[in-house]
Amino acid sequence: MNPTLYSLRMHSTREGKHISGAERIVPAAELARAGRALLQRALGHPRGPAAELRLSAEAIDPATIRYGRLPDVRTLPVADYLAGRRQAVELLVRAGVGRQAVDRALAALVAGPAPGGVAMRGAMLVDADSGARLEADHARGVRASRMDLTRSADRLLRRRLGRVGLNNPHVREALVLAAKVLATPGIVAELCWSDDPDYPAGYVATVADGYLRLPHLKPIGEERGGRAFFWRSGVASLEETMTFLERQVLLIDQVGTIAGLPVQEF
Ligand code: WAQ
Ligand code: MG
């Protein structure tokens, strides 16, 4: 029998400001080590040290686990963040997201999507046609949660990313998150860039084209960033979408293809 798995989640803040959040799915024997790694990361974060740290763990009923695959990865070279944002708009429109919805989501990420023009803890849920924001709380947003790689998929992913110089935690975690988002009924695409001031890259993920990296989506030093999940009615109710996104356990046991940088980049 497989050992019981736990969903382990960390969230940290300072004076009410979101610093970082991360999570793992691990067997009991690895909980202490994984918890320590998450706490250390919250303390040494580029957004500044956390003052309030929350760590929680919860046993998973094995009968509820679903398995999945990472999206394929490609990098699209762009000269600067303005070119990156133009490219992101084009990719989302090509994926069928309405122009108005794309423009609204981009404008919100540029301005800082939470009240006060800062980063949210989670993502915006954006109607793919009207562009309306559907998440109840504009500071929390919706969280993709309860997903991780199996140990062997993690090893394979690190090896494949390493070959193209992309084996860093931002890429690994964003890929796992995008896999959960793309597996969620009702969600058609995602737009993301980091809220970490030293990480300017981001991506567009779509069911048809996978994970398309854009090396520049914001200037270095910028703390405003975030995520937009584009939702279309007719596939699942909002409630079904949210429940899957936040509660369904997804263990990723298959890694997609990872393309190297195109020659133009050099
Ligand atoms: N669910 C929903 N939204 C989240 C989650 C989550 N589990 N975690 C973070 N967010 C939102 C939140 O608003 C953050 O402010 C924002 O996303 C950015 O999070 O290929 O590092 O962890 O080179 O700073 C993408 C590019 C890196 C990687 C993204 O995001 C690559 C990144 P961060
Ligand atoms: Mg961050």
What pLDDT sits at residue 18?
87
Confidence band for 72, pLDDT divided at 50, 70 and 90: very high
Question: What average pLDDT does range 82-100 have in this prediction?
Answer: 98
Atom of ligand 1 nearest to the CA of 245: 1
- Asked if residue 264 has pLDDT above 60, the reply is no
pLDDT of residue 14: 93
- What is this structure's pTM? 0.95
Residue 200, ligand 1, Cβ within 6 A: no
Indicate whether residue 119 lines ligand 1 (CB < 6 A). yes
Q: Provide the token pair at 51.
A: 């003052």
Identify any residues that bridge with 1 across adjacent strands, giving them in sequence order: none
Which ligand has its closest atom nearest to the C-alpha of 141? Answer: 1
Query: Which atom of ligand 1 is the closest one to the Cα of 226?
Result: 16
Task: Report the distance separating Cα 34 and Cα 241, nearest Å.
Answer: 29
| Cβ(161) – ligand 1 distance below 6 Å | no
Q: What is the residue-averaged pLDDT of the chain?
A: 95
CB 202 within 8 A of CB 78: no
Residues 6+ apart with CB under 8 A from 161: 167, 168, 171, 172, 258
CA separation for the pair 195, 174 (Å, rounded): 13
What are the tokens at 115? 């009240």
Identify which ligand lies nearest to the alpha carbon of 227.
Answer: 1
Is there a contact between 259 and 74 (Cβ–Cβ < 8 Å)? yes
Q: What is the pLDDT of residues 119-176, one digit of tens each?
A: 999 999 999 999 999 999 999 999 999 999 999 999 999 999 999 999 999 999 999 9
What is the best residue among 134, 147, 193, 194 to mutate for testing ligand 1's pocket, by most ligand atoms within 8 Å of CB?
A: 194
Give strand pairing partners of 66: 250
| SS3 assignment, position 180 | helix
- Give the pLDDT confidence score for residue 260 in this predicted structure: 78
Report CA(2)–ligand 1 centroid distance (Å): 31
Reported confidence tier of residue 47, pLDDT bands at 50, 70, 90? confident
Residue type, 192: C
Which of 19, 227, 246 to mutate to test ligand 1, by most ligand atoms within 8 A of the CB atom? 227
| pLDDT tens per residue, range 215-232 | 999 999 999 999 999 999
Residue 11's closest CA among 49, 46, 33, 38? 38
Instruction: Look at 265 and 201; give whichever has higher pLDDT.
Output: 201
| pLDDT greater at residue 17 or residue 11 | 11
